[in-house]
Structure 1
Amino acid sequence: MALINCPNCQKRISDKAKTCSHCHTSMAGESESKATIRHIEKSNKLMNHSFIFMTLFVFGAVLWFWGGEVAQGYKLIISSACFAIGFIGYLITRVRIVLHKRKSV
């Protein structure tokens, strides 16, 4: 007897169980496809986050140099914040994507 993750709630259950004792999901054959679908959905979510952070990073860089001169005042603060948040968020999201891809489905 081995312990596996429930495809619906991700809690540990016996591989011999017909239904999950936590969420009452049936374990009849569809567990592999549910796990694959959830893996794809998480990949799509992470890619969307990556795109949002990259857009924020580019927006900060463009705002910083808009009009041919370096930003000053409130534009400098906004552009620096967008640049930094976008860059750091993008790096963290890329690490999460790599770790997610290493997980087996």
Structure 2
Amino acid sequence: MALTTCPICDKRISDKAKVCPHCQTALDSDTSSAKRIKQIEKSTRLMTHSFIAMTIFIAGVVVWFWGGEVASGPRAIVGGVLFAFGFVGYLITRVRIVLNKRKQL
């Protein structure tokens, strides 16, 4: 008896199992549509993360330049932190999107 991964939940299961004990998916049927749905859900989730990171980045720029002049004091710190987190979060999410698309091919 060997262990393999479930095509839906990616958890380790027996290769002789007819149904995944974790997600209750029948393993003897065609699972290509379920795999595609899972891939689309992951892609959608990553795009949502990308949108949130870009929103945080833009919020940092708005806080930094609110009122027409460059921020100083606590406003500069808040704007800089938002700017940095948004930028780094966006870059990380974009790399994850590219890796997800490569895995898809």
1:52-91 aligned within 5 A: 52-91=52-91
Cα deviation for residue 32 of structure 1 reads 1.0
Structure 1: distance between partners of 2:27 and 2:94: 33
For 1:31, the aligned partner's letter is T
Q: TM-score, normalised by structure 2?
A: 0.83
- Equivalenced residues, count: 102
For 1:26, the aligned partner's letter is A
Structure 1: distance between partners of 2:70 and 2:98: 35
Give the aligned CA root-mean-square deviation in angstroms: 2.1
Percent sequence identity is 55
Matched residue, 1:99: 99
Cα deviation for residue 35 of structure 1 reads 0.9
Partner of 1:71, secondary structure, is coil
Structure 1: distance between partners of 2:64 and 2:9: 45
* Structure 2: gaps of 5 or more residues: none
Structure 1 residue 50 corresponds to structure 2 residue 22: no
For 1:46, the aligned partner's letter is L
4+ aligned runs moved over 6 Å, structure 1: none
Partner of 1:103, secondary structure, is helix
Structure 1: distance between partners of 2:103 and 2:5: 13
Q: TM-score, normalised by structure 1?
A: 0.83
In 1, are the aligned partners of 2:39 and 2:104 still within 8 Å (CA)?
no
* Structure 1: gaps of 5 or more residues: none
Cα deviation for residue 56 of structure 1 reads 0.7
